[in-house]
Structures are given as structure tokens and as C-alpha cells.
């Protein structure tokens, strides 16, 4: 029922790209000075390219301020990119194009703050039916759909449909947000820190529910979080972001068991392990990320990198394949790069 609006030609294989992002850039001006002109630009997303395969969960991790949320907002067309393209099933999503309206409802998002993302003046049902009505569904049909999706996320419609957001718990509200996102029958769901604000026990329930819904509705997820454990649990592949760029992408086992980028290693070792023997094997991250207004030359991570060499300040490493669908942007991993740890060409 929910998948009815999907076009017939879904990718042939499970590895086909549902979403293709190419060289996406977005910077925000910092205004100042006497006449309020842009003094500088924060490069929030600075040339990022990746694919999301049909049916997978792509985890996106990174410290706060690395551009994760800007990326999410770019993907659902809330803000326009400066350059770069986003293509859904091969159709580019460009502002102003007639196809955008059809395309954008296929990507929906669940926000972090479950309270702020529900209009406090509307009942749960009205919140969910809004998007449907805006897309031309009639009132009665929209109401049926709203009840169906509420049921799907485990909230009894006759108990919750007429309630207001403040009468619900955090977990319940987040389920409503998921239901609202699902109501439009999307194929790709972006979960931007969607469970981060929940209590641990509730977080687990919601995560399990998300897994179940994904199976049931053939969904694809982009799961953005700073919580490495949650990302490991839910993701098939993981993209690591640093200062607006992807620095390592790979299957979840590869990233977690054999991280290649020193940043990924630092990030992983900074989390607490239950097993004391496994704690801190690599040097943990020190210091704060540099200012995104004026990122370091060459490799952006070099200022905090334990294995930085003069080369890293001169040349920016590109994303290069480093094994089975695993790519990394680090000179030390690129043979022939000239880095002392890299294999000689």
C-alpha cells in the first residue's frame, strides 16, 4: 500500500545505486563588516560524492560540526547545493524542475528533536495527513493512510491519532515522526540523529522497529549519527565524514574491524569498550576539529593526525580504493603517494 507510488523500474540488483551524490558542495556566508557583506564562508559540505544502494543502510558518522546535518538537508532539498548533483534512480533532483515534486517525496527525513519536529498545535493525525493532503490525497484517504502508518510504527491509531505532541513520550513522538515520514511512501529515509535524544532502552526499541520497517517496506536508510555503536548495529556500509568531506567509506565490518584512516581509528578507539583488553589500541583523537571557515591545506586531518608528514600539507589525498568496496582518503594508504607508511609504487 505504501509502495504504490513507486515507479516500476526499481534497480535490478540490490547493489544498484538508488541515490547518487556527486561532488556536492554547500557553504554558508559569514556576514560582517560595515555593510554586512560576506566576510568568509563556512564550507559545511565541501565536495562529497557517494552512492546509496537500494535496500542498504548507509551509516554516516563524524564529530559534531562536520557537516552531517547540512548533508541531510541537502539530500531532502531543504537547502540548495552550491554545486554538485543529487540523482535519485538516475533522475537528477534540481530545484525548479517539474520532477522535483515527485522525487522529493521519495526521500523523507526523521529529525533529531522529536518535539520540535511536530507542530505543537496539530493533532498527531493532522501532522501526518498534512504532507499527504499537500500532495493531493483527499481527506478521507489521508486519514486512512495516517492510521495505517501509525499502526505500522506500533501506535494504536484510536489511542494516539487525536492526541497532541506534548501528551506523548519522547519515544512515541519519534515513532510519530517515523510514521509521518513513511506516510508519503518514500523509498529512502534519512534518519538524522533520529534516536540520539532517546533513552537507551527506548532507543533500542525504535532501532528494532526501524529494522523491521525496512524489511517490510523495502526501504533504504541513510542513518546519520555520532553514536558509533548504534551505527555499527544498524548499518551495512559506513561513511566517515570529516570537515565536510568523506574520508573513508566501506562495509561496516571493514570500517569497524580494520579502519584505514587515522581519523576513523581515532574515532573508534575513543569509544568505551566493554572489554578492557580491547581498549585504546591506537592513539585517541586529541584537540578540536579545525575551523571549517579556513580548513588546513592538503589533508584536512593533518593537524590532528599522528602520522602526518610534510606531504600531507601539500597535497590533498583523494578517495582511493583500498580493498573490497572500501575507499579511503589518506596518503599513508595510497601506494606511491610518497608517504613513508605507504607502499612503494
Partner 1 sequence: MLTYFLRRALYTVPIALGVSIVCFALIHLAPGDPLSAVMPEGASQEVVAELRAAYGFDKSLPVQYLTWLRRVLTGDFGYSIMTRRPVLGEVAPAVVNSLILAAAAILIGFLTGLMLGLIAGYNNGTMLDRVVTSVAVTGVSVPHYWLGMVLIVIFAVNLGALPAMGMGTSGSADFAMDWESLRHLILPAISLSVIPAGIIARSVRGTVAEVRKQDFMQTLYAKGLPPRRIFVHVIKNAAPTVLAIMGLQLAQLLGGSILVETVFSWPGTGLLLNTAIFTRDLPILQGTILVLAMFFVFTNLIVDLIQSAFDPRIKRS
Partner 2 sequence: MPNLALDDLRAPPTGLRPRSRSFWQTVGRRLARDPVTLTCAAVLLLILLAAIFAPLIAPHDPYRTSMARRLLAVGDHRHWLGTDELGRDLLSRLIYGGRMSLFMGFMPVVLATIIGGTLGVIAGYAGGALNMAIMRLFDIFYAFPSVLLAVAISGVLGAGLVNSLVSLTLVFIPPVARVAESVTTQIRNQDYVEAARATGAASWRIVTGHVLSNVTGPILIYASSLISVSIVIASGLSFLGLGVVPPEPEWGLMLNTLRQAIYIAPLNAILPGVMIFITSMCSNLISDGLRGAMDVKV
Which of 3, 15, 29, 32: binder of partner 1 (CB under 8 A)? Answer: 32
Q: Which is nearer to partner 2, 136 or 287 (CB)?
A: 136
**Residue from 34, 98, 274, 345 in contact with partner 1 (CB under 8 A):** 34
- Residues 137-156: x/- map of binding to partner 1 (CB under 8 A)? --------------------
| Grid cell for residue 73 | 538537508
Distance CA 298, CA 303 (A): 10
Q: For residues 71 and 49, what is the distance between their CA atoms, to the nearest angstrom?
A: 11
Compute the least distance from the CB of residue 150 to partner 2, in Å: 11
Given partner 1, partner 2, none, residue 212, with its beta carbon under 5 to 8 Å by kind, binds none
Q: Judged by CB, which is closer to partner 2: 118, or 285? A: 118
Q: In sequence order, what are the residues at sequence separation of 6 or more whose Cβ sits closer than 8 angstroms to the Cβ of residue 68?
A: 60, 62, 192, 224, 226, 241
Q: Which residues bind partner 2 (CB under 8 A)?
A: 73, 76-78, 100-101, 104-105, 107-109, 111, 113, 116-123, 127, 130-131, 134-135, 154-155, 159, 162-164, 166-169, 171-172, 177, 180-181, 184, 201-202, 204-205, 207-208, 233
The cell 507542530 sits on which residue?
119
CB proximity list for 88: less than 8 A, separation 6 or greater = 18, 19, 103, 106, 107, 187, 188
Min CB(273)–partner 1 separation in Å: 34
36 binds partner 1, rule: CB under 8 A: yes
Q: What are phi and psi of 263, to 5 degrees?
A: -70, -45
Q: Rounded to an integer, what distance in angstroms lies between the CA atom of residue 62 and that of residue 230?
A: 13
Closest approach, Cβ 313 to partner 2, in A, equals 38
Helix (H) or strand (E) holding 256: helix 252-257
Q: What is the 3-state secondary structure (H, E, C) of 265-280?
A: HHHHHCCCCCCHHHCC
Pick one of partner 2, partner 1, none as the site partner of residue 91 (Cβ within 5 to 8 A by kind).
none
> 135 or 303: whose CB is closer to partner 2?
135
Q: How far is the C-alpha of 40 from the C-alpha of 152, rounded, in Å?
A: 47
Residues in contact with partner 1, counted by CB under 8 A, come to a total of 7
- What distance in Å separates the CA atoms of residue 161 and residue 163, rounded to the nearest whole number? 6
Cβ proximity to partner 1: between 33 and 276 the closer is 33
Question: Of 13, 33, 286, 344, which lies in the binding site for partner 1, with binding defined by CB under 8 A?
Answer: 33
User: Smaller CB distance to partner 1: residue 36 or 136?
Assistant: 36
Alpha carbon distances (Å) from 177 to 86, 135, 159, 189: 24, 18, 16, 11
- The footprint of partner 1 (CB under 8 A) covers 30-36
Amino acid at each position: 500500500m505504501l509502495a504504490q507510488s513507486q515507479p516500476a523500474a526499481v534497480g535490478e540488483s540490490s547493489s544498484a545505486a538508488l541515490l547518487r551524490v556527486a561532488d556536492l558542495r554547500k557553504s554558508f556566508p559569514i556576514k560582517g563588516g560595515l555593510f554586512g557583506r560576506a566576510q568568509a564562508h563556512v564550507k559545511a559540505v565541501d565536495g562529497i560524492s557517494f552512492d546509496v544502494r537500494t535496500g542498504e543502510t548507509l551509516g554516516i558518522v563524524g564529530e559534531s560540526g562536520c557537516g552531517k546535518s547540512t548533508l541531510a538537508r541537502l539530500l531532502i532539498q531543504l537547502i540548495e547545493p552550491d554545486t554538485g548533483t543529487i540523482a535519485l534512480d538516475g533522475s537528477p533532483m534540481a530545484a525548479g524542475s517539474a520532477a522535483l515534486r515527485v522525487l522529493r517525496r521519495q526521500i523523507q527525513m526523521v529529525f533529531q528533536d522529536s518535539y520540535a519536529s511536530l507542530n505543537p498545535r496539530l493533532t498527531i493525525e493532522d501532522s501526518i495527513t498534512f504532507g499527504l493532503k499537500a500532495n493531493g490525497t483527499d481527506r478521507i484517504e489521508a486519514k486512512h493512510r495516517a492510521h495505517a502508518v501509525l499502526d505500522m510504527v506500533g501506535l494504536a491509531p484510536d489511542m494516539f491519532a487525536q492526541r497532541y505532541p506534548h501528551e506523548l513520550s519522547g519515544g512515541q513522538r519519534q515513532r510519530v515522526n517515523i510514521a509521518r515520514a513513511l506516510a508519503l511512501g518514500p523509498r529512502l529515509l534519512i534518519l538524522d540523529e533520529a534516536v540520539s535524544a532517546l533513552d537507551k532502552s527506548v532507543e533500542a526499541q525504535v532501532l528494532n522497529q526501524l529494522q523491521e520497517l525496512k524489511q517490510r517496506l523495502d526501504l533504504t536508510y541513510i542513518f546519520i549519527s555520532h553514536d558509533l555503536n548504534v551505527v555499527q548495529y544498524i548499518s551495512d556500509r559506513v561513511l566517515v565524514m570529516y570537515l565536510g568531506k568523506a574520508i573513508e567509506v566501506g562495509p561496516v565490518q571493514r570500517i569497524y574491524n580494520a579502519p584505514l584512516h587515522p581519523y576513523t581509528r581515532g574515532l573508534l578507539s575513543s569509544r568505551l569498550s566493554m572489554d578492557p583488553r580491547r581498549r585504546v589500541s591506537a592513539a585517541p583523537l586529541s584537540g578540536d576539529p579545525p575551523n571549517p571557515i579556513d580548513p588546513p591545506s592538503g589533508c584536512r586531518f593533518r593537524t590532528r593526525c599522528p602520522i602526518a608528514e610534510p606531504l600531507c600539507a601539500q597535497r590533498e589525498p583523494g578517495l582511493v580504493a583500498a580493498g573490497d568496496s572500501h575507499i579511503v582518503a589518506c596518503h599513508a594508504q595510497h601506494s606511491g603517494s610518497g608517504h613513508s607508511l605507504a607502499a612503494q609504487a
